[in-house]
Amino acid sequence: MSHVIGAYKPRAFAMSGLRNVFVFVVGFALAGGAIAQEEVEQQSLGDAIGGLFKAIGGALNEALTPQGQQQEQTQQPAPQSTQQVAQKPQQVKKGAIDGKFTGKVPEFLVAAEQLAGVKEGRGKVEDTLYIIFDPRCSACRYIYTETRAHVANGRTVKWIPIIALGDTAKGESLSATILQRNPHEGLRRVLGNKEQIMTNPSRETRKSLELNHDFFDIAFEKVGQGGFVPVAFFLDRRTGNPRMTAISSRGALGEVFGTLAQ
């Protein structure tokens, strides 16, 4: 069975939401006005995203190689219910996210931590694998299933939904099921079990999805490549830098988290 990376369908006015926050905040401050709490919070996140690539350099470009994007899995088991999870499998090979880290956490990852999503595990920002996904993407569903054993082994994954595959209304409804109901249960049922559970998205959910997408757009604009899902971000302990990489195969996941005993 092959798992193909979801092809991103560009939005009209990409990143307009985030950049409008910049314009509003700067203009309002120059006018001597008071900024509401909501704008302050968005400004803080916007500042983090705006400066997130300053220290990354070529690491992003090296991570997003054509080979990495084209990785596919053959003869892999079909996704199963997440209730069928092995208990504490033993790690037999360390991954890129393993090892000590004593430096300052990159703002790139701090910004990812603030985005709306579902966090599994209790790891700190530097110990978390951030995965941007579309709930209808087959490769996203596959990698969700593949992460089950790693999460059971104590790893931390944050799932950040966006609408990347067209049909905005359906994508928003599935994402709202994840974000507005019981997040972990919604993630398991929509992404793990492929259940088409629709929820009317709130105004807050639409705003959150827009900001998630702004982050996604800025990342791919930086590396000069077309967007795709699933895509992951994490701190690579081998280099000390944040990394952006395709995450659609067991091999790619193993590079991050290491290999578990079968």
d(CA 181, CA 13): 29
Q: Which residue has the higher pLDDT, 222 or 186?
A: 186
Sign of CA dihedral 53, 58, 62, 66: positive
- 37 in the Ramachandran plot: left (φ > 0), alpha (ψ -120 to 50) or beta? alpha
Look up residue 254 and give its two tokens.
Answer: 């193993």
Helices and strands per DSSP (H, E), number in the chain? 10, 9
Give the pLDDT of residue 91: 67
Q: What torsion, rounded to 10 degrees, do the Cα atoms 180, 120, 214, 181 define?
A: 0
| Centroid of chain to Cα 203 | 21
H or E segment and range at residue 174: helix 168-180
Query: Which residues, at least 6 apart from 77, have a Cβ–Cβ distance to it below 8 Å?
Result: none
Model-level pTM greater than 0.85? no
Q: Which residue has the higher pLDDT, 222 or 5?
A: 222
**Window from 4-18, 23-37, 69-83, 176-190 with minimum mean pLDDT:** 23-37
Q: In this predicted model, what pLDDT tens digit does every residue of 97-134 receive, in sequence order?
A: 999 888 899 988 999 999 999 999 999 999 999 999 99
**pLDDT, average across residues 14-32:** 35
Q: In this predicted model, what pLDDT tens digit does every residue of 183-207 receive, in sequence order?
A: 999 999 999 999 999 999 999 999 9
Backbone angles phi, psi at 217, to 5 degrees: -65, -45
Strand partners, 242: 235
d(CA 237, CA 119): 21
Backbone angles phi, psi at 158, to 5 degrees: -115, 125
End-to-end CA distance of the chain: 20
**pLDDT, average across residues 38-54:** 44
* Domains defined along the chain, listed by start: 6-260 (3.40.30.10)
| Centroid of chain to Cα 126 | 14
